[in-house]
Structure 1
Amino acid sequence: MPVEKPKPRYKQIADHLREGILSGTYPAGQPLPSEESLAKQYGVTRPTVRQGIAELRAAGLVEVMMGRGMFVRSPHSRPSLTRPRGVRREPDGRYVEADGLRWDDAEEPVATRTDAPLALADLLRIPPGEPMYTYDALQTADRGRLRQLRRTYVPFSVLLGTKFEEQAPPPAPHLYSALAELGHELHFTEYVRTRMPLPDQAQALRLPDGVPMFQILRVTLSADDKPLALEEFHLPGDDLELSYPL
């Protein structure tokens, strides 16, 4: 019978605090002891405590409020941020996000040529390996407090016979107006899931260890349901809920 390896200290701390939260020792809405106090209590460093707290944040048991400390989250509490999802068209023809936020690009997105991987080719209904224009952007809102990664894909085949056959189309959301000017009546479908971020994604989104992110794939479709473009959004998943009108 194999001998079980002892748990890392941060997991032991997370398990002990989780037990205290579920038993009511730390009531919902009340603050947890500070990192410094917990480090002294468990005889570890503050980064070790922080890693344990990240496990509890990922489990939805703890929320960290900037400048106020760490608080036990009720299983019935609402996230601090709700983001309406969707796209609407303004009277002047512009397409805007339903969340009403103004998103600024950290750097001007530049078009690169990529080949469609199998999973995206399936959503776009194009052959795997078909060339696409691709844009990458780190976007911020609310004076940098909110962050998201946004990638836009446009298959070359969608642009055949248009002015964009020789020049790259604009990235979304300006892409929507460009497609509408080509005569397309647009609608959208989104696919949502959560997963753990890659290291560069965690750094860009400023996610602590153990915190997941939302991955949203938005497909732009024509009136006859032909996919025209695809966007990939990555959003922090620690204190955010998404809302959709039905």
Structure 2
Amino acid sequence: MPPSNTPAKYRQIADHLRQGILDGTYPAGQPLPSEEVLAKQFGVTRPTVRQGIAELRAAGLVEVMMGRGMFVRSPHSRPSLTRPRGVRREPDGRYVEADGLRWESAEEPTATRTDAPLALADLLRIPPGEPMYTYAGLETAERGRLRQLHSTYVPFSVLLDTKYETEAPPPAPFLYTALAELGHELHFTEYLRTRMPLPDQAQALRLPDGVPVLHIVRVTLDQSGKPLALEQFHVPGDDLELSYPLDVGGR
């Protein structure tokens, strides 16, 4: 019997490739052996090879390019996907995401009533526990290749004396049009940080072990700076960069 401390096959593959990357056998920017070659070399299935590659991706040593294969990541290489962030208004009055992607909900969005937790209440400048309309779900784009978790929160107090006092407002981005029709001039602020996903988030986003998520919080404000709504986005952070326009301030 093999020693009990023998590494699992996927870890042997990861260690073999990691050593080759570090000693220059596989230079930056060069392709790695294919899944088929590695599977034959180690006598394993291709899913086992992918598990080993996932460790290297999580460590930032490898990038996988769709249709091209696996490559050693250069410290100067760009991610394979750049997504502009922001909201723009079309000539017909619709609000759309700046990335131009057509995001579709995996399930029909349904509004639920939730009470504002402390962190969200602070950003929305409402008392903790205030009721909110909430939408939350998985969204996909480009035929399911891109995935994100997207939640929308609208405090009840924002909707007092409007038609949405007795009916749920639409989720974002349709929410923006609804708020504009109520007479608000909309402005947006985003907060961005990285963190490790919760297990259910990793499963929904199909993340390999060790891959972080980008956690984006967007606050919609009126012309006076009062928060009207809040959104949370969780997107895979392994091979993605976000671009933001910067406004030049002035007197």
Q: Which amino acid aligns with 1:101?
A: L
- Alpha-carbon separation, structure 1, partners of 2:66 and 2:99: 23
In the other structure, the counterpart of 2:159 is 159
SS in 2 for 1:176: helix
**Cα deviation per residue 1:114-144 (whole Å; 9 max; x = unaligned)?**
1111111111111111111000132222222
What is the RMSD computed on CA atoms of the aligned residues? 2.2
- Alpha-carbon separation, structure 2, partners of 1:8 and 1:97: 46
**Structure 2: gaps spanning 5 or more residues:** 247-251
Q: Which amino acid aligns with 1:198?
A: L
Q: Which amino acid aligns with 2:211?
A: V
- Alignment of 1:232 with 2:249, yes or no, is no
In the other structure, the counterpart of 1:20 is 20
Q: Tell me by how many angstroms 1:208 deviates.
A: 2.1
TM-score normalised by L of structure 2? 0.87
Paired residues for 1:181-220 under 5 Å: 181-220=181-220
SS in 1 for 2:33: coil
In the other structure, the counterpart of 1:137 is 137
**Cα deviation per residue 1:157-211 (whole Å; 9 max; x = unaligned)?**
1111111111110000010111111111111011111122222222222222222
- Alpha-carbon separation, structure 2, partners of 1:80 and 1:167: 42
| Distance change (3 Å), C-alpha of 1:7 and 1:230 | farther
Tell me whether 123-132 or 38-47 shows the greater mean CA deviation.
Answer: 38-47
- Alpha-carbon separation, structure 2, partners of 1:152 and 1:40: 48
- Alpha-carbon separation, structure 2, partners of 1:55 and 1:7: 18
Paired residues for 1:87-106 under 5 Å: 87-106=87-106
Q: Tell me by how many angstroms 1:113 deviates.
A: 0.5
| Distance change (3 Å), C-alpha of 1:175 and 1:7 | farther
Tell me whether 167-176 or 201-210 shows the greater mean CA deviation.
Answer: 201-210
- Alpha-carbon separation, structure 1, partners of 2:91 and 2:197: 38
- Alpha-carbon separation, structure 1, partners of 2:109 and 2:82: 27
- Alpha-carbon separation, structure 2, partners of 1:66 and 1:79: 12
- Alpha-carbon separation, structure 2, partners of 1:155 and 1:104: 24
Instruction: Tell me, yes or no, if the aligned pair for 2:191 and 2:216 is still in contact at 8 Å.
Output: yes
TM-score normalised by L of structure 1? 0.89
- Alpha-carbon separation, structure 2, partners of 1:178 and 1:158: 12
Q: Tell me by how many angstroms 1:16 deviates.
A: 4.5
Q: Which amino acid aligns with 1:237?
A: G
SS in 2 for 1:135: strand
In the other structure, the counterpart of 2:59 is 59
Q: Tell me by how many angstroms 1:14 deviates.
A: 3.5
Paired residues for 1:30-179 under 5 Å: 30-35=30-35, 37-38=37-38, 47-179=47-179
In the other structure, the counterpart of 1:3 is none
